[in-house]
Structure 1
Amino acid sequence: MSHKPLAGRRVIEMGTMIAAPFATHILSQLGAEVIKVEPLTGDTTRALVRGGPSGTFIAYNHGKKSLAIDLTTADGRLVFHKLAETADVVIHNLSPAATKKLGITAEDLAKDNPDLIYCHVRGYSAGPMHDGLATNPVAEAATGVMDDHRIDGRPSRLGPSYHDQFAGAYAVIRVLATLMNPAPTPEEKYIEIGLYETGLHIASRDLAGVQLKTQLLGRPEKEAGGEFAMPGYGAYQTQDGRWIYLLILTDAHWRKLSQGLQMPEADDAQLAGLRERKKQRERVEAAVRRAIGSLSYEAATEKLESAGIGFTEVLPLERVLEAPQARHPGKLRTLEFGGLKFDVPEFPGDGAIEPGLAPPHLGQHTLEILEQLGFDDGACANLLEESAVSVHADKDHVWAPRK
């Protein structure tokens, strides 16, 4: 069994939905012990699908331990502050107001543990909107993504919550950098990752591009993506209704495609260069649609492979994990939770899957952690009786049966 780089490190997560749980998911995969501190009602994602956990909870919370605490009680706060004394890192994405109300700001926890690295994933970092609230779609709307993604002309959010996940990944990078610092200052141990600032950084290529075009052309204009700039680059439907995404980036790609599919346009010298193909975009697009649309999926892929063209099928979610590449050893972790079985993609880069914990039931590790913190049986019983903490019960967060 390999030695994970964060083995022996304790991370406290107070997270809900995606951003903070995604960050601690990565830290857990790197070997950290992650204690998921939840309210007695549990993380919101425990009860989003028929009264039970959503895919978000299953995918990003396996390998963690659950400690259920009521932080609105004095005894609950006592438990949490004793836990903070033992931790290396705290990561959360609670609202700024909730953080202050519960007494778990960076200043509060520094009194318990001066060495603690404190990471707050929030709507905005420093600036006029510092205490404002932002969610994934707010970040998309405020940083140009939503304006570029319209459905029937209406600005719309992307499907997946990529800004939440990017923010979680950025949090991990900052935490790891601080852990590598032999003598971080108090300021360096306090990390803020804003969803808005995450969105700005993700959009930096496009923001720089529109400035470039404005100065060159005297008007704002987007730098077109590949699908809009290069004819033949995009998704095309086969005769039997499946979709193939073609990677036609260069003149050589176009030559291989047009010849490999025996397109009449292969002999048109005017289309040999990208500039002319752009000028005749509609003609080229129609030609590629006809060529792919006249073939079955199997026939099209055979011709594309023979021609050396880069392509892939556009897969619906229910078929993604059927792909041989996805099933290759080291890619998927098999989990059992709530009587159901799941294949969950593993954090990439390792190539080996070591045994780990399934997603925790709410409060599953409460007593174990209390004992580690020095609470004896009597103290644990009192905490439970006062509802300052809770333990797992079989009735917690189960899926309603299908009718």
Structure 2
Amino acid sequence: MTGRTAKKEGREMFQKGVLAGRRVIELGSMIAAPFGTHILAELGAEVIKIEPPEGETTRHLVRGGPSGTFIAYNRGKKSLCLNLQAEDGQEAFRRLVAGADVVLHNLSPGAARKLGVTYETCSALNPKIVFCHIRGYGVGPMQEEIASNPVAEAATGVMYSNRVNGRPSRLGPSYLDQFAGCYAAIAVLAALLDEGGAAAQRNIEFGLYETGLHIAARDLVGVQLKSQLLGRAETEPSPEFAMPGYGAYETREGRWIYIVMLTDEHWRRFCRAVEVEAAADLATLRDRRRNRDRVEALVRDAVSRWDYDGLSKAMGAAGVGHTEVLSADRVLQAPQACDPRKFSEVPFSVYSFQSPDFPVPSCRDASPVGPPPLLGEQTRDVLAMLGYGSEQIEAMIIAGAAATPQAGKPLWAKATGGDLS
């Protein structure tokens, strides 16, 4: 089967993901938990996102409305808007847990206990539940503390080496949040595969801090290596700083090309591609490091004499690893992104978005992707599925224990001159 459908017994069938039929409850905010359940949804699970009456944080980050984070990582989910501080809201939550396969959240430890979103509470309702809590910190002296992505970057060494004008700064994307979501999905899948395993395997708790430690393992081990070889702590430089000629360079018409220059063979291929002499005294990486300024000047000058398209063709023919440095508005226009298409069309409000898909198509649900839900869009349907009658549901909404979308309310404040910042 290729594309999105297969023929079976004369009927056109949509491919279903490996988690089809599984129900996941998400109590998530910002990125870590929503990203983890986004992956599970892409694999075919039904994700019911429980939101408080004011909605999840990323619903309100851009002109009072949903951000790119919300649209990208909450598409196709169902929104059940409950007040978990009300007894009726708690009762609905308990009913939902009783029939679910997974609960995944990133509430603070204190909030989780206050709202009853703990493994002990959920497993008492459903002994087979897979429970996953992404915390700020795992077990240890800081386990009750709150940590966000940049806090984890700062605590695990990432931020120290990433500086803007000399000031330690966070990376652009929230990579540790997203890695934590990936780890959560992996752990949930492992628990679902071993349904007869020990209860401890179904109680998954880990921190953004521990995620950051694991991601930083190469650098943390590298500094130990330098300490033992050189007798002093020395942070491993990034490849850009360690390898002359490795990085981004500007072409004649002002486009940027990123060149990978790791080996002596790469250097020889580059010289051949840009038609410059491969000087004998720059033949080895050690030679080029000793003459860093000269190499950098040579590469900058050589690249600046070419237009991007001609240079890309020459480098491709010579076997030099490279790509154009693209702005975000151009990424999904690239041929590799479009053929076959690596993203889905996601309608939302009066707009339409293109959102990249889970990158392993053989595992994911290839059914048409639904839009992100409005706040409480599936509240009535989910409560009815849990056995509530229409009068009970209406009473819960009137009492504030549950909520449905506000009819006619715009998602974003009207932009002036197209500005949604």
TM over 0.5: yes
Tell me what 1:33 maps to.
46
Question: Aligned partners of 2:213, 2:397: CA distance in 1, in Å?
Answer: 45
Tell me what 1:278 maps to.
289
Question: Aligned partners of 1:18, 1:130: CA distance in 2, in Å?
Answer: 20
Q: What whole-Å deviation, never above 9, does each CA across 1:185-243 have from its counterpart, x for those lacking one?
A: 22221111200000000000111111111111110112233212211111101122111
SS of structure 2 residue aligned to 1:42 = coil
| 8 Å contact kept, 2:162–2:169 | yes
SS of structure 2 residue aligned to 1:11 = strand
Question: Aligned partners of 1:64, 1:242: CA distance in 2, in Å?
Answer: 39
SS of structure 2 residue aligned to 1:12 = strand
SS of structure 2 residue aligned to 1:321 = helix
Tell me what 1:130 maps to.
143
Tell me what 1:344 maps to.
355
1:211 is aligned, of 224, 228, 238, to: 224
1:204-283 matches, within 5 Å, as 204-264=217-277, 266=278, 268-283=279-294
| 8 Å contact kept, 1:47–1:397 | no
| 8 Å contact kept, 1:51–1:397 | no
Tell me what 1:304 maps to.
315
| 8 Å contact kept, 2:76–2:371 | yes
Give, in angstroms, the shift of residue 287 of structure 1. Answer: 0.3
Question: Aligned partners of 2:316, 2:209: CA distance in 1, in Å?
Answer: 42
1:15-54 matches, within 5 Å, as 15-54=28-67
SS of structure 2 residue aligned to 1:84 = helix
Question: Aligned partners of 1:113, 1:282: CA distance in 2, in Å?
Answer: 64
| Letter paired with 2:106 | N
* 1:188 counterpart = 2:186: no
SS of structure 1 residue aligned to 2:301 = helix
* 1:321 counterpart = 2:370: no
| Letter paired with 1:244 | I
Question: Aligned partners of 1:25, 1:55: CA distance in 2, in Å?
Answer: 14
Structure 1: tracts of 5 or more residues without a match: none
Give, in angstroms, the shift of residue 31 of structure 1. Answer: 0.7
Tell me what 2:346 maps to.
335
Question: Aligned partners of 1:305, 1:119: CA distance in 2, in Å?
Answer: 45
* 1:369 counterpart = 2:382: yes
| 8 Å contact kept, 2:75–2:371 | yes
| Letter paired with 2:300 | R
SS of structure 2 residue aligned to 1:115 = coil
* 1:399 counterpart = 2:389: no
| 8 Å contact kept, 1:143–1:199 | yes
Question: Aligned partners of 1:81, 1:28: CA distance in 2, in Å?
Answer: 22
Q: What whole-Å deviation, never above 9, does each CA across 1:154-185 have from its counterpart, x for those lacking one?
A: 00000100000000000011111111113222
Q: What TM-score, normalized to structure 1?
A: 0.97
Question: Aligned partners of 2:342, 2:242: CA distance in 1, in Å?
Answer: 34
| 8 Å contact kept, 1:46–1:397 | no
| Letter paired with 2:302 | A
Q: What whole-Å deviation, never above 9, does each CA across 1:26-54 have from its counterpart, x for those lacking one?
A: 00010110000000111111111112110
Q: How many residues align?
A: 401
Tell me what 2:111 maps to.
98
Give, in angstroms, the shift of residue 113 of structure 1. Answer: 1.1
More moved, 96-105 vs 351-360: 351-360
| 8 Å contact kept, 2:135–2:207 | yes
Give, in angstroms, the shift of residue 106 of structure 1. Answer: 1.4
Tell me what 2:123 maps to.
110
Q: 1:397 to 1:117 in 2, by over 3 A?
A: farther
Give, in angstroms, the shift of residue 395 of structure 1. Answer: 4.0
1:178 is aligned, of 191, 198, 217, to: 191
| 8 Å contact kept, 2:16–2:367 | no
Question: Aligned partners of 1:8, 1:306: CA distance in 2, in Å?
Answer: 48
Question: Aligned partners of 1:182, 1:95: CA distance in 2, in Å?
Answer: 28
| Letter paired with 1:271 | L
Question: Aligned partners of 2:229, 2:340: CA distance in 1, in Å?
Answer: 50
Root-mean-square deviation (Å): 1.3
2:173 is aligned, of 160, 177, 188, to: 160
Q: What whole-Å deviation, never above 9, does each CA across 1:340-388 have from its counterpart, x for those lacking one?
A: 0100001111068421321111111111111111111121121111111
Q: What TM-score, normalized to structure 2?
A: 0.93
Give, in angstroms, the shift of residue 329 of structure 1. Answer: 2.6
* 1:384 counterpart = 2:400: no
Tell me what 1:119 maps to.
132
* 1:60 counterpart = 2:73: yes
| Letter paired with 1:198 | T
Q: What whole-Å deviation, never above 9, does each CA across 1:111-157 have from its counterpart, x for those lacking one?
A: 21111111001100100101011000000000000001000000000
SS of structure 1 residue aligned to 2:97 = helix
Tell me what 1:74 maps to.
87
Tell me what 2:9 maps to.
none
| 8 Å contact kept, 1:246–1:311 | yes
* 1:147 counterpart = 2:125: no
Q: What whole-Å deviation, never above 9, does each CA across 1:294-326 have from its counterpart, x for those lacking one?
A: 222233223323322111000111111110111
Question: Aligned partners of 1:379, 1:69: CA distance in 2, in Å?
Answer: 14
Question: Aligned partners of 2:403, 2:153: CA distance in 1, in Å?
Answer: 38
Structure 2: tracts of 5 or more residues without a match: 1-13, 417-421
